[in-house]
C-alpha cells in the first residue's frame, strides 16, 4: 500500500499536494442513495422537508460510504464559519488560562470553534489579525492587547463583530464586557480601612488599560472619601517578578506601608514572598497584601491571599451573547458596555476588622 502516486511520470518533481480530494462528497452519497444531491444536503443541514424514508436512505448510504460533511464548503456558501477568534496576550497569567478554557468550552457548547490567536504585541497584532480575518471569523474576542483604531476598522471592513473582554475603550465604538473594577478597588479600600490599616500602597500593572486604572482609582477614591490617602504607588508589568520588585522598593522605606493592594494576584504573590522571605515581615500582622483575580495560587496555603474574584463565567457568557447578537443585528448601534460586579474573597493575607 506504499504510495504509487506518480503513475504518470510527467513532472515527477512537482510538489505533491496532500490528496484530500477524492473524499466522499454529497454527490457520491446521492448517487448511491438514488436521490439528488440537494436531498443529501437537506439531510445534513436543516433536515426539514424530508420524508423519513428519504432521510433513512441517505443516512445509510452516507454511513456505508463514510461520508463526512465539509464545514469549509458550508462556510463558504453560508457566509458564516462558526469560528471565533480569541486574542489573549498575557498567556503567563493563570487568570487568562482560565479565561481561555472557559471561552473554548462555552463557545463549543454553542456550536462555535475557537481560533486562538497569539499576538504578543501591537506590531504583531497589526500583522496577524488581518490575516486571521481572511478566515471570515464570525467574531473576535479581545482579552488584552490594545485594539488600535486601524484594527477596529479592519474588523468593521470585514463585517466581523469585535468585543473587548476585561477592558473597555471609550473612543472607539466597540462593545465590551468587564468586571466592575472601580467597585473592586473600593471594596478593598473598605476592607483595609475596617482592618485598621494606615499606610496604603498600590502596585499597578504596567499597561494603562481601563482595568488597571479603574482598580487604582476605585481604591484611591474610596480611601480619599474616607479621609485617607494613597501614600505609596509602584508599578510593574503584571508578573510575579514585578510584584517582587515593587515590594522591595516599598519595604525599603523607613515607614513602609502596612497594606499593599496589587493590581493582580500574580504580583501579589511576588510581593508576599518578598515581604516574608526577604524582609521577615509577618503576614498579615505587620503587613496586609491583597490581590485581584483569584487565580488558583491565591488559595494555595503558601499564600492564602485575600483577593477580589472576577465573575469570569458570567463575563464569558455575556461576551458570547453580545458577540452573537452583534452578528445577527449588524453594526449601527452604540457600543454596549457590560460591567459585572466582583466579589471579595477573604483569606488570611489581610487583617480584617473585628466587629
Partner DNA sequence: CTGAAAGCGCTTACAG
- Give the x/- contact pattern for DNA in 68-107, rule: CB under 7 A: xxx--xx-xxxx----------------------------
Minimum distance between the CB of residue 266 and DNA, rounded to whole angstroms?
43
For 115, left (φ over 0), alpha (ψ -120 to 50), or beta? beta
Confirm or reject binding of residue 157 to DNA (CB under 7 A). Answer: no
Q: For its own copies, which is the closer residue by CB, 186 or 349?
A: 349
Site for DNA in 45-64 (CB under 7 A): 45-46, 48-51, 53-54
The binder of 44, among DNA, its own copies, none, by C-beta within 5 to 8 A per type, is: DNA
Q: Under the criterion CB under 7 A, does residue 279 sit at the interface with DNA?
A: no
- Which lies closer to its own copies via its Cβ, residue 119 or residue 189? 119
Task: Specify whether the CB–CB gap between 252 and 210 falls below 8 A.
Answer: no
Does residue 17 bind DNA (CB under 7 A)? yes
| Residue 150 interacts with which of its own copies, DNA, none, CB < 5 to 8 Å by class | none
* Neighbour count for residue 46 (Cβ, 10 Å): 9
Check if the beta carbon of residue 186 is closer than 8 Å to that of residue 224: no
Tell whether the torsion through CA atoms of 237, 240, 246 and 249 is positive or negative.
Answer: negative
CA nearest neighbour of 85 among 36, 42, 125: 125
**Euclidean distance between CA atoms 25 and 69, whole angstroms:** 7
Shortest reach from residue 152's CB to its own copies, in Å: 15
| Binding of DNA by 44 (CB under 7 A) | yes
H helices of the chain, in order, are 26-33, 37-44, 52-65, 71-78, 94-109, 122-133, 149-157, 181-194, 210-225, 240-251, 265-278, 312-329
Total residues contacting DNA by CB under 7 A comes to 33
Which partner from the list its own copies, DNA, none does 26 bind, CB cut-off 5 to 8 Å by kind? DNA
- Say how far apart CA 105 and CA 100 lie, in whole Å: 8
Contact 315, 177 (CB under 8 A): yes
Q: CB-wise, 48 or 171, nearer to DNA?
A: 48
In the complex with its own copies, the residue whose CB is nearer, 34 or 92, is 92
Which residues would be at the binding site for DNA (CB under 7 A)?
A: 17, 21-23, 25-27, 35-39, 41-42, 44-46, 48-51, 53-54, 67-70, 73-74, 76-79
Amino acid at each position: 500500500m506504499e504510495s504509487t502516486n506518480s503513475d504518470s511520470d510527467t513532472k515527477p518533481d512537482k510538489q505533491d499536494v496532500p490528496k484530500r480530494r477524492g473524499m466522499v462528497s454529497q454527490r457520491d452519497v446521492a448517487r448511491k442513495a438514488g436521490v439528488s444531491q440537494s436531498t443529501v444536503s437537506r439531510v445534513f443541514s436543516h433536515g426539514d422537508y424530508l420524508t423519513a424514508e428519504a432521510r433513512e436512505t441517505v443516512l445509510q448510504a452516507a454511513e456505508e460510504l463514510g461520508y463526512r460533511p465539509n464545514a469549509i464548503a458550508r462556510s463558504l456558501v453560508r457566509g458564516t464559519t462558526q469560528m471565533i477568534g480569541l486574542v489573549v496576550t498575557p498567556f503567563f497569567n493563570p487568570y487568562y488560562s482560565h479565561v481561555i478554557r472557559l471561552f473554548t468550552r462555552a463557545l463549543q457548547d454553542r456550536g462555535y470553534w475557537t481560533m486562538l490567536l497569539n499576538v504578543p504585541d501591537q506590531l504583531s497584532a497589526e500583522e496577524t489579525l488581518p490575516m486571521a480575518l481572511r478566515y471570515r471569523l464570525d467574531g473576535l474576542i479581545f482579552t488584552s492587547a490594545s485594539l488600535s483604531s486601524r484594527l477596529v476598522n479592519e474588523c468593521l471592513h470585514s463585517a466581523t463583530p469585535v468585543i473587548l473582554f476585561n477592558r473597555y475603550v471609550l473612543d472607539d465604538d466597540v462593545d465590551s464586557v468587564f468586571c466592575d473594577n472601580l467597585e473592586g478597588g473600593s471594596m478593598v479600600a473598605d476592607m483595609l480601612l475596617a482592618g485598621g490599616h494606615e499606610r496604603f500602597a498600590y502596585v499597578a500593572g504596567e499597561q494603562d488599560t481601563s482595568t488597571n486604572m479603574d482598580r487604582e482609582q476605585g481604591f484611591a477614591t474610596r480611601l480619599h472619601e474616607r479621609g485617607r490617602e494613597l501614600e505609596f504607588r509602584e508599578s510593574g508589568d503584571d508578573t510575579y517578578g514585578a510584584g517582587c520588585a515593587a515590594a522591595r522598593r516599598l519595604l525599603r522605606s523607613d515607614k513602609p506601608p502596612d497594606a499593599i493592594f496589587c493590581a493582580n494576584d500574580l504580583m501579589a504573590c511576588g510581593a508576599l514572598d518578598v515581604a516574608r522571605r526577604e524582609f521577615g515581615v509577618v503576614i498579615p500582622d505587620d503587613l496586609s497584601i491583597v490581590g485581584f483575580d483569584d487565580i488558583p495560587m491565591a488559595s494555595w496555603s503558601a499564600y492564602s491571599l485575600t483577593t477580589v474574584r472576577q465573575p469570569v463565567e458570567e463575563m464569558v457568557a455575556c461576551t458570547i451573547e453580545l458577540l452573537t447578537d452583534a452578528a445577527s443585528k449588524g453594526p449601527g448601534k452604540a457600543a454596549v458596555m457590560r460591567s459585572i460586579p466582583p466579589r471579595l474573597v477573604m483569606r488570611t493575607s489581610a487583617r480584617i476588622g473585628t466587629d
